[in-house]
Amino acid sequence: MPKFLKNSLADLIALLVYLPLSRTAFFLEKKIGMDVSNFPLSQYRDKSLYTMRTDALDRFGTRLEKRFTKEEIKSLLIRAGLENIIFSNEPPYWCAVGTKRSISSS
């Protein structure tokens, strides 16, 4: 798909899907006091339209997407020389941090 069409489609998805659902979650949480943790796209409730547009483009405009399990990600990070790996307990769950192994002075 041409870049212009991909960008336009992602913008349309952001405007017609991401924005209404995220703002509904925001309203339900702030005005009604409802727990929106299971509401679709609630993690975007405090995000800008720009973030929603770029995330929609990333999700729907990528030619090939490879998904990894938590264990696969952990294995990749260990092979890259990281240790003390910690995964996020809140969305986005696939975010992780680790520390670089110290080089021993032998």
User: What would the DSSP string read from start to end of 5-42?
Assistant: HHHHHHHHHIIIIIHHHHHHHHHHHHTT----TTSTTG
The answer to whether residue 51 is domain-embedded is yes
Number of domains comprising the chain = 2
| In a shared domain, residues 83 and 40 | no
The answer to whether residue 65 is domain-embedded is no
Structure confidence at residue 67 (pLDDT) = 84
| In a shared domain, residues 37 and 12 | yes
| In a shared domain, residues 55 and 94 | no
* Residues in the chain with pLDDT values less than 70: 104-106
Query: Rounded to whole angstroms, how far apart are CA atoms 6 and 59?
Result: 11
pLDDT digits (tens, 9 = 90+) for 7-30: 999 999 999 999 999 999 999 999
| In a shared domain, residues 49 and 95 | no
| In a shared domain, residues 7 and 56 | yes
Structure confidence at residue 73 (pLDDT) = 93
Phi, psi of 98 (to 5 degrees): -155, 170
Query: Rounded to whole angstroms, how far apart are CA atoms 90 and 42?
Result: 12
Query: Could you tell me the pTM of the whole model?
Result: 0.69
Query: Rounded to whole angstroms, how far apart are CA atoms 81 and 12?
Result: 41
| In a shared domain, residues 8 and 35 | yes
The Cα angle at residue 87 between residues 33 and 43, in degrees rounded to 5? 30
Residue-number span of the structural domain to which 82 is assigned: 70-100
Structure confidence at residue 10 (pLDDT) = 94
Token pair belonging to 24: 């509904």
The answer to whether residue 105 is domain-embedded is no
Structure confidence at residue 2 (pLDDT) = 86
